[in-house]
Amino acid sequence: MTTDESESRPPVRQPRPAALGAWVALLAAIALLSRPGALGADPYELVAAGDGFKHPVQLTHAGDGSGRTFVVEQEGRVLVMRDGRPAETFLDLRSKVYHGGECGLLSIAFHPKFRENGRCFVNYTSAERGLDSIVSELTVPKGGQKAEPASEREILRLAQPYPNHNGGMQLFGPDGFLYIGFGDGGAGGDPHGHGQNLGSLLGKMLRIDVDTRAPGLAYGIPADNPFVGTPGARPEIWAYGLRNPWRFSFDPATGTLWCADVGQNRFEEIDVIERGKNYGWNVMEGAHCFKPESGCNTQGLTLPAKEYGRKKGVCVTGGHVYRGKAVPDLAGAYIYGDFGSGRIWSLRLSGGWVKEDRELMHSKKPISSFGTDEAGELYVVTYEGRVWQLKKSSE
Ligand SMILES: [Ca+2]
């Protein structure tokens, strides 16, 4: 989830949470000093909702009517949060997960019929054979409350050339297919050109069918995937030209797929992902030429719905279109933030154009993820171990 400089690094690089942490602390100190305390209190606040997690990177629910909220720890556990604390272990894959930096257990997705079939899907980094991203399925035994580690069935394995930009988010769309985001493979600048290479799963949004199996695959290919039948292209691809789609989500009301794509050195971006589109990387970073630096060929590329530069943040974290009840004035707005600066914004589009673009707060927290509970309320997950609920300020 971190941004990085442009040099290549050999595997396995340890990331920079410490450096980022110091940077965030410095930013916080500067912001406190320069802020006239009494003036312009934020209209929104983050209310403490959970604590005691180790490097949490996702918060989600199972959609099974149980009301459970799950928190994914990068080291390899999925915990049920109750009364603001880690209450039960839903899944422990720590013995299989290679973690650190941008590696680790990066997400869990519950099958749309999880309540009936107990199937869930994880995305994690394994060091078992070099450095691989693994998508696998696990099952909760009938009547059980936990995913059984022995039930693990590997669905997809993708060799990672570098330890960063693993993407790692996956979730089911309203169409029942599993969407998986993979980054460009890492290093800096996409040295192997994965983003634009339709023969690679790196730098892509994938769409697969976990309820069927195509010949030779552990999953099915939806017939209307855009590159089915295109010579040299992987049929799993739904959209391409992504750098590191760390977090994305579907608007539960409209089905729109919102994705935050982490930038290189200059621009962070928000994309609305649509079938078969090319989101530009590494020809473009945001709405600007990257390779070459000027005069790049932008034909056929889809520009971000929104971008921001280094004055606002360094590493975008995708959020959700708010469909909860606690903050009515945010209904229908896409809420997202930045891992480095802790700023949180709302964005509304109309006909593809930005209609509203508002900073809700400058939290100064290392936002690793946003998540929703079963009621649609929005939470902010911060990397140092906490969960917060976004609410209207109480005053
Ligand atoms: Ca782009």
69 touches 53 (CB < 8 A): no
Q: Is residue 41 part of a domain?
A: yes
Q: Is residue 5 part of a domain?
A: no
Q: Quote the ligand 1 centre to 199 CA distance (angstroms).
A: 19
Q: Is residue 259 part of a domain?
A: yes
The Cα-based distances of 153 to 108, 157, 218, 219 in angstroms read 14, 11, 9, 11
Q: Is the peptide bond before 292 cis (omega within 30 degrees of 0)?
A: yes
Q: Quote the ligand 1 centre to 143 CA distance (angstroms).
A: 44
Q: Is residue 352 part of a domain?
A: yes
Point out which residues pair with 337 in neighbouring strands. 317, 344
Q: Is residue 12 part of a domain?
A: no
Residue 121 backbone dihedrals phi, psi, to 5 degrees: -135, 130
Q: Is residue 3 part of a domain?
A: no
Per-residue pLDDT of the chain (395 residues; tens, 9 = 90+): 444 433 333 333 333 444 444 544 544 444 444 443 334 567 999 999 999 999 999 999 999 999 999 999 999 999 999 999 999 999 999 999 999 999 999 999 999 999 999 999 999 999 888 899 999 999 999 999 999 999 999 999 999 999 999 999 999 999 999 999 999 999 999 999 999 999 999 999 999 999 999 999 999 999 999 999 999 999 999 999 999 999 999 999 999 999 999 999 999 999 999 999 999 999 999 999 999 999 999 999 999 999 999 999 999 999 999 999 999 999 999 999 999 999 999 999 998 899 999 999 999 999 999 999 999 999 999 999 999 999 999 86
Q: Is residue 4 part of a domain?
A: no
What is the per-residue pLDDT across 6-47, written as a single tens digit (0 to 9) for each? 333 333 333 344 444 454 454 444 444 444 333 456 799 999
Q: Quote the ligand 1 centre to 238 CA distance (angstroms).
A: 15
How many Cα atoms occupy the beta-carbon half-sphere of 325 within 13 Å? 2
Domain around 86: 17-392
DSSP for 178-241, please give it: EEEEE---SSSS-TT-TTT-TT-STTEEEEEBTTS--TTSSSB--TT-TTTT-TTS-TTEEEE-
Q: Quote the ligand 1 centre to 343 CA distance (angstroms).
A: 21
Nearest residue to 183 via CA among 198, 195, 199: 195
**Number of compact structural domains in the chain:** 1
Q: Is residue 10 part of a domain?
A: no
What is the per-residue pLDDT across 333-353, written as a single tens digit (0 to 9) for each? 999 999 999 999 999 999 889
* Prediction pTM value: 0.90
Q: Quote the ligand 1 centre to 184 CA distance (angstroms).
A: 12
Q: Quote the ligand 1 centre to 114 CA distance (angstroms).
A: 33
Question: What CATH number did the domain enclosing 170 receive?
Answer: 2.120.10.30
Q: Quote the ligand 1 centre to 305 CA distance (angstroms).
A: 9
Q: Quote the ligand 1 centre to 141 CA distance (angstroms).
A: 41
Residues 6+ apart with CB under 8 A from 301: 241, 278, 279, 280, 283, 284
Q: Quote the ligand 1 centre to 370 CA distance (angstroms).
A: 21
Q: Quote the ligand 1 centre to 213 CA distance (angstroms).
A: 32
Q: Quote the ligand 1 centre to 285 CA distance (angstroms).
A: 6
Q: Is 283 helix (H, G, I), strand (E, B) or coil?
A: coil
